[in-house]
Amino acid sequence: MDHQEILDNIQEKVIKGKIKEIEPLCVDALQQGLSAMEILEGGLLMAMQRVAEAWKNGKAFIPEVLITARAMNIGLAVLEPQLAKADRKHRGKVVIGTVLDDLHDIGKNLIGLMLKSRGFEIVDLGVNVKPEKFVEAIKEHQPPILCMSALLTTSMVHFRKVIEALEEAGLREDLLICVGGAPVTQAYANQVKADVYTPDAVSLADLLEERFS
Amino acid sequence: MLIEKGKNLFEEIRREDSLSALCNGRGICGKCKVKTDISLPVTEAERNHLSQLQINQNIRLACQHTVLEEDVHVALIDKENILVLGLDRGSVPIRTVTADLLLAIDLGTTTVVMVLIDGHSGEVILEHKFTNPQRTYGADVLSRIEVTLAGNDSCHRLIRQEIRKFVAELVTRFQPNSMTIGITGNTTMTHLWLNADVAPLVQIPYRPSVSHTLIRSIRSELGIGVDGEIIVYPPIAAYLGSDILAGISLLDLFKKKENILLIDLGTNGEIVLSCNGELSATSTAAGPAFEGVNMSSGCGAVAGAIDHFFLSQGKLTYTTIQEAAPVGICGSGYIDLIGCLLEGPLQTSGYLEDEVIVVEHPKISLTQKDVREFQLAKAAIRSGMELCVERANLTFDQIDALMIAGGFGKHINVDAAIRIGLIPEACRDKTVLIGNSSLAGCVSWLTREKDIPSHGDIERIQVIELATSARWLELFSEHMLFEGGNL
């Protein structure tokens, strides 16, 4: 097998979620002279991007994305020690979280996954995150991007509260604030003075990748 | 009635008379009581459901005697014990007379259903349903809470207005001296009815602000000149209302020895598991796909709604409600349609290459987006069931009965529901469709046939929060696929 065939094979197995085969395949690929970086980009991340593309076109759905993510993370664990930090394309930090009074994390996790696969570093604050906690995290990590998620009509009101708290703390200006979740619309995003809204995780990843290339 | 030797007592009676058989003859519900002229052998199920006195009086469960050794004369007792469907029965037993008229109201998010009963004879006088007027403030409960929290009390006023109008009509028409009104519904609906604070319903840890039975006079609440009370029954939790509590009460789940799963298929799919009287419950944000909302050709169970699909010789055929010209597809239709299409173009992953057009004019079809909506709803219900059963250290093989309630629950095709993976294969022969158990339970409280569970009993129900369970996410994702019995 040439190098491209090895990578194609890893992609296939990651997409199909053949989790038992991922680790030996990655080890084998390293022995065949591929770099950890090549395997990551040409194998694991490419697999995620293919699934993301299919998701965007309606050909795949959340289960396929989660299956691929699980396999990707197994591969990543093999490669991580070999990945010299400087080698990795690093687009910057993103703080993500689901707002107060909302325990839903699927959407937020998908955002994390998509952005991670595009080379962003993710700081995940979890669910039911209070405005103060968002402010603290922005102070601490100084990220260029904040992504907030809400699944409930009743919890998305907290977008505004977080944004106001950030303004008050003087942290708003250099921050790109993205909001999303099932009940959120462009109009609502405008109303709460968020910078970016996209209807799905993949579009957000596309948009941020372009802006932060 | 004479049943001959060798015959199946249960089947014979069922053919002749309207026998209560909530569990479809499995010895679980204890409803098919008959009195016989000779002493038949007593089974274990009968010992569970009958007192020694009843056994001595030759009272038996018809379903327990499938092959008779000799001719038997039987009489039905407890004949109309249970209002299975809301209203497919002529009367209900009145244990204690409390008023001339009894009005049971199930306050649904989408539809409000009512039944009026003669408080003396138990005769069902009429049924009535209307679309919840709060719908202009959103199809789901959260939109209505949002509006209310913003200081607009329209949701409260709209429902009061509609019910007041109807009750006033009843009072004019029937001139009762007294009346008792019972109200069940999901927690948001009963809170909006009461004008109780809805903020705790949407703030963690999500609690109802009213958790006891509230009794007020019709005069003070509705301003209508008739003696009597309005009873608003208590919820279990913020997303488990008195509607599901009514189902629990109706099925006597606190007292059952068996493992029984009760599912109410609606916008908030509620799930209750009873293991030997220990109850756990959860609600899933299934969304309104089962009610035909958010589906491109979806509609409620109205005349002309396609309620069933069939594959005959590879061709898709369908039936509509009241045999009217097709106007759309309702929940039971979607279950069938997806089941049928899995034999053809629809992949188990949910991928559908081309839109499937069922009717050209007006266009009725299934799109990829419809399938995705449906997958989320189905996965929500099934994963909730899985988690409840798993937490109780059980498997579906150990479930004795799966009771499916809900407005359209009565009409679903169980085979198709298994085919798409909504119902587990292991429950194929144990699934019973029981219709609107909220309304039927409300009636049973009004007639004093059943007691309202005590506050202590309600507090003992273990409420499972799905969103915080990592295991649930795995199950949710797994059951988005249409694997049916293969999983």
| Contact at CB, B142 and A152, closer than 8 angstroms | yes
| Residue A130 CB neighbours (<10 A) | 17
Give pLDDT, residue B381. 95
Residue pLDDT, tens place only, B20-42:
555 667 677 676 778 888 888 89
Residue pLDDT, tens place only, B50-69:
877 778 878 888 888 877 88
Sites in chain A below the pLDDT cut of 70: 84-89
| Contact at CB, B480 and A62, closer than 8 angstroms | yes
Q: Please report, for residues A69, B118, B229, the alpha-carbon distance to residue B99 in angstroms, rounded to integers and kept in the order given.
A: 62, 9, 9
Domains in chain B (CATH in brackets) are 2-76 (3.10.20.30), 101-232 (3.30.420.480), 297-366 (no CATH)
Give pLDDT, residue B53. 73
Q: With 0-12 CB in 10 A as exposed, 13-18 as middle and 19+ as buried, what is B313? A: exposed
Is residue A35 within 8 angstroms of chain B, CB to CB?
A: no
Give pLDDT, residue B484. 59
CB-closest option in A59, A66, A103 to B468: A103
pLDDT band per the 50, 70, 90 thresholds, residue B297: very high
Give pLDDT, residue A156. 93
Inform me whether the pLDDT recorded for B254 exceeds 70.
Answer: yes
| Contact at CB, B477 and A66, closer than 8 angstroms | yes
Q: How close is the nearest chain A Cα to the Cα of B5, in Å?
A: 56
Give pLDDT, residue B451. 95
Q: How close is the nearest chain A Cα to the Cα of B372, in Å?
A: 8
Q: Please report, for residues B271, B280, B362, B380, B400, the alpha-carbon distance to residue B387 in angstroms, rounded to integers and kept in the order given.
A: 10, 10, 41, 11, 17
DSSP for A77-141, written as a single string: HHHGGG--GGGS---EEEEEEEBTT----HHHHHHHHHHHHTTEEEEE--SSB-HHHHHHHHHHH
ipTM exceeding cut-off 0.85 for this assembly: no
DSSP H helical ranges for B322-397: 331-341, 368-391
CB-closest option in A63, A128, A153 to B481: A63
Give pLDDT, residue B29. 65
Q: Is the distance from CB of B353 to CB of B331 less than 8 angstroms?
A: no
Q: Could you give the 3-state DSSP secondary structure of residue B363?
A: coil
The answer for residues whose C-beta is within 8 angstroms of residue B315's C-beta and 6 or more apart is none
Inform me whether the pLDDT recorded for B314 exceeds 90.
Answer: no
Distance of CA A183 to the CA centre of its chain: 20
Q: Name the domain boundary from A86, A117, A133.
A: A86
Query: Which residue does chain B place closest to A103, by CA atoms?
Result: B467
What percentage of chain B carries pLDDT values higher than 90?
61
Give pLDDT, residue B5. 85
| Contact at CB, A61 and B478, closer than 8 angstroms | no
Query: Which residue does chain A place closest to B470, by CA atoms?
Result: A105
The vertex-B482 CA angle with B476 and B486, nearest 5°, equals 100
Q: Name the domain boundary from A42, A64, A86.
A: A86
Q: Is A115 found in the same domain as A62?
A: no
Its sign, for the CA torsion B43, B46, B48, B50, is negative
Give pLDDT, residue B81. 32
- CATH number where A178 lies: 3.40.50.280
As a whole number of angstroms, the distance between CA B351 and CA B349 comes to: 6
Give pLDDT, residue A209. 93
Give pLDDT, residue B16. 62
| Contact at CB, B349 and A128, closer than 8 angstroms | no
Task: Report the number of distinct structural domains present in chain A.
Answer: 2
Q: Is A37 found in the same domain as A59?
A: yes
As a whole number of angstroms, the distance between CA A58 and CA B430 comes to: 36
Q: Name the domain boundary from A71, A86, A101.
A: A86
Q: Is A109 found in the same domain as A207?
A: yes
**For residues B462-468, average pLDDT:** 91
Q: Could you give the 3-state DSSP secondary structure of residue B259?
A: strand
Selection from B117, B368, B414, B116 nearest residue B263 by Cα: B414
Is residue B398 within 8 angstroms of chain A, CB to CB?
A: no
Inform me whether the pLDDT recorded for B116 exceeds 60.
Answer: yes
Q: Does an H or E element contain A69, and which? A: helix A62-79
More confident residue, B91 or A130: A130
Q: How close is the nearest chain B Cα to the Cα of A57, in Å?
A: 10
Q: Is A188 found in the same domain as A119?
A: yes
Q: Is A40 found in the same domain as A12?
A: yes
pLDDT band per the 50, 70, 90 thresholds, residue B73: confident
Q: Is A97 found in the same domain as A77?
A: no
Query: Which residue does chain A place closest to B198, by CA atoms?
Result: A154
Is residue B421 within 8 angstroms of chain A, CB to CB?
A: no
> What residues make up the domain containing A202?
92-211
Give pLDDT, residue A184. 92
Selection from A129, A128, A135 nearest residue A167 by Cα: A135
| Contact at CB, B204 and A101, closer than 8 angstroms | yes
The answer for residues whose C-beta is within 8 angstroms of residue B166's C-beta and 6 or more apart is B114, B128
Distance of CA A5 to the CA centre of its chain: 27
Q: Is A168 found in the same domain as A204?
A: yes
**For residues B408-429, average pLDDT:** 89
Is residue A113 within 8 angstroms of chain B, CB to CB?
A: no
Q: Could you give the 3-state DSSP secondary structure of residue B122?
A: coil
DSSP 8-state symbol, B324: P
| Contact at CB, A61 and B145, closer than 8 angstroms | no
Q: Is the distance from CB of B106 to CB of B185 less than 8 angstroms?
A: yes
Inform me whether the pLDDT recorded for B15 exceeds 70.
Answer: no
* Cβ under 8 Å to A: B residues 359-378: 368-369, 372, 375
Q: Is A98 found in the same domain as A79?
A: no
Query: Which residue does chain A place closest to B376, by CA atoms?
Result: A62
Active site residues of A: 102, 104, 155
Residue pLDDT, tens place only, B133-185:
898 888 789 889 999 999 999 999 999 999 999 999 999 999 999 999 999 99
As a whole number of angstroms, the distance between CA B207 and CA B210 comes to: 9
Q: Is A68 found in the same domain as A114?
A: no
| Contact at CB, B203 and A101, closer than 8 angstroms | yes
Q: Please report, for residues A2, A42, A106, B72, the alpha-carbon distance to residue A10 in angstroms, rounded to integers and kept in the order given.
A: 13, 9, 26, 72
Q: Strands of B305-312's sheet, edge to edge?
A: B315-320, B305-312, B328-329
pLDDT band per the 50, 70, 90 thresholds, residue B487: very low
**Mean predicted lDDT score pLDDT of chain B:** 88
Range scoring the smallest mean pLDDT among A50-64, B390-404, B438-452? A50-64
Q: Is A82 found in the same domain as A105?
A: no
Which of A152, A154, A160, A200 should one mutate to test binding to chain B, selecting the residue with the greatest count of B CBs within 10 A? A154
Inform me whether the pLDDT recorded for B80 exceeds 50.
Answer: no
Q: Is A125 found in the same domain as A143?
A: yes
Inform me whether the pLDDT recorded for B459 exceeds 90.
Answer: yes
Q: Is the distance from CB of B103 to CB of B114 less than 8 angstroms?
A: yes
| Contact at CB, A154 and B375, closer than 8 angstroms | no
CB-closest option in B142, B369, B468 to A153: B142
Q: Is A175 found in the same domain as A113?
A: yes
CB-closest option in A59, A62, A101 to B351: A59
Is residue B349 within 8 angstroms of chain A, CB to CB?
A: yes
DSSP 8-state symbol, B182: E
Q: Could you give the 3-state DSSP secondary structure of residue A148?
A: strand
Chain A contact set for B142 (CB, 8 A): 152-154, 183
Q: How close is the nearest chain A Cα to the Cα of B467, in Å?
A: 6
Inform me whether the pLDDT recorded for B85 exceeds 60.
Answer: no
- CATH number where A70 lies: 1.10.1240.10
As a whole number of angstroms, the distance between CA B417 and CA B425 comes to: 9
Is residue A33 within 8 angstroms of chain B, CB to CB?
A: no
| Location of structure tokens 């059951």 | B479
